[in-house]
Every structure is written in C-alpha cells, then in structure tokens.
Amino acid sequence: MQPNELRARLQGVISFPVTPFKADLSLDLDGLKKNLRSLLQHPICAVVAAAGTGELYSLSPSEHLAVVKATVAEVNGRVPVIAGTGFNPPIAAELARQAAAAGASGILAFPPYYPSPDDDGLIAYYCGIAEATSLGMLIYSRDWFNPGPALVERLAQIPNLIAWKDGQADLRRYQMIRQRIGNRLHWIGGAGDDMVPGYYSIGIRTYTSSIANVAPRLSLKLHEVAAAGNAKELTALMDELVIPLYALRAQRKGYEVSAMKAMMDMIGLVGGPVRPPLVDLRPNEIDALHATVERWRAWL
C-alpha cells in the first residue's frame, strides 16, 4: 500500500488489538485470530498489530513477526494493517522491514528506549525507521516523547511520514503543532477513547481505540456522535460507560492493557494474562470490571 493510499484510509476508528498470551505467557495466535474475526465484523478503518495495547515491548522480534503475519493473514486485505516498531535503531528497522515483508500496510514508530535525547538524535532515529521500508509511517508521541511544534516540523520533512498519533492528551500543544504543520500530516487522536470529546472538538476525525477490543460498536458510536457534534449523546456515553472504565484503568500503571484483556476474557474473547513488567488486575478490581461489563451489555 502506498503511503498516500494508507493516509486516505485512516478515517474513523483505528483498532489496537491486544496480543493474547496463554497461561505460560507464550503467544496465543489462535486467540488473536479469533479476536480479529470478531472485530472485523465492524467497519473499523485499520488495525495496528503488536503496538501499545499489543504489548510491543514484551515481544521478541520473532514473536513480533508471528503476530504481524497472523494479523495480516486474518485481516486478508479488508483493512490496512499497521505494525508497531521501536526500541532502538537496528531493532526498529528490523521490525519495520520484516513487517513490510509480511504484508503490513504501514509502520507505527514508538519513541526510542533512551529518554529525552537531543533533537538531532531523534531525527536520525525516525529517519532510520522511515528509510527501512517504503511504507507510510506514523509517529506515536507518548510517554517522555512530547515534542513541540519546531521538532515536529523537522520530522514532517521525512518523505514517507504520513500521520501523527498523539498520546499525550495535551490539546493546547496539539493545536499548536497542527497550526504549525497544517495538512502535511494526518492528525490522529491517540491518548484514549475518553479523549474523543476533546480531540473532535478541535477538528480531528480519526482516533485509536482500545475499547474496540471489547465493544467496537461503542468505539464507532463515539466517533459517529462526536463527528456529528452531538454533545448531549456523547457526554452521556462518556459518563455512563467510558469514564468509569478509564478510572479503573488509571489505578495502576499498565492497566490500560490489563483491564481490556480481562474484559475480553469475560465476554468470550481471548485476552489472557499480561507479561511483566505489566501486572494483571487484582480480585477486587475483577469484581468491579464485571459490573462494567454488565453496563456495557447493549454494546457487546
């Protein structure tokens, strides 16, 4: 898929599937395929394999390739498959190249392992990933990587960089970046389903959803009502369904993955445990999550 073709396809909800593990923490590729078959019954616009919700940083390169291959095979061209990559320059380039060879449509570049390096080093890092393949690349601004407009403007010179995924939820900074860069990049809301009201209020119309692992109908409804400017219905969905879940997810680091996996297990999909350093939910939190699932029944 050419970079501009991928960019044009990124309208609406992008799903970030979990990477299911068995009890011994080995890959559960059959479980992944089962989850994807359920997900693809709904009109999401793209799937991101082995990324944040997919526990990229817990995977070996060979496991990463297995997840990408399984995802590409199950999706079978219905929507673009974007593969996560990161760590350091040689590993990031290796993951990008093997994902491209496996049939991925694009690359999502995570920040490097080294926190807060010089801007020139960051430019070199992202250029190296972009040069590893001819695929369109998206950059994911998250954790310590929270650049200002000047650095994003420099990164926007990378020819096959097509989109920017915000993971900071800093709308003030995001507006300044978008004003500086304009339509050179496609802008994606990537900090969570709970940020849909904020992102859509500033004109963004694509967001990445972890909730889509459990309730893609709800993810798509959030996009629909937010894009239509239906503030009353959007607020009701947020207050009743989304914000309580995100409150639970905020209780411990990594619960943005653990909670979704636990919910998937509850409804007959395949989540499984998380790998260290993430931790699974505690028993009392599982009980609270069961109550959340009951409130969500109409959307499952």
So what's the pLDDT on residue 136? Answer: 98
Is-catalytic flag, 232? no
- Domain 3-224: homologous superfamily in CATH: Aldolase class I (3.20.20.70)
So what's the pLDDT on residue 288? Answer: 93
The pLDDT of 269-291, averaged and rounded, is: 97
DSSP state letters, 152-178: HHHHTTSTTEEEEEE-S--HHHHHHHH
So what's the pLDDT on residue 40? Answer: 98
Please, which residues bridge with residue 209 across strands? 15
Q: How far apart are alpha carbons 29 and 26 in whole angstroms?
A: 9
- Is 111 in a helix, a strand, or coil? strand
- Is 89 in a helix, a strand, or coil? helix
Selecting among 125, 126, 140, 199, the annotated active-site residue is: 140
Selecting among 69, 125, 126, 165, the annotated active-site residue is: 165
- The mean pLDDT value of the chain amounts to 98
pLDDT digits (tens, 9 = 90+) for 108-161: 999 999 999 999 999 999 999 999 999 999 999 999 999 999 999 999 999 999
- pLDDT category at 249 given cuts 50, 70, 90 is very high
Is-catalytic flag, 165? yes
So what's the pLDDT on residue 73? Answer: 98
Q: Using alpha carbons, select from 66, 73, 98 the residue that is nearest to residue 85.
A: 98
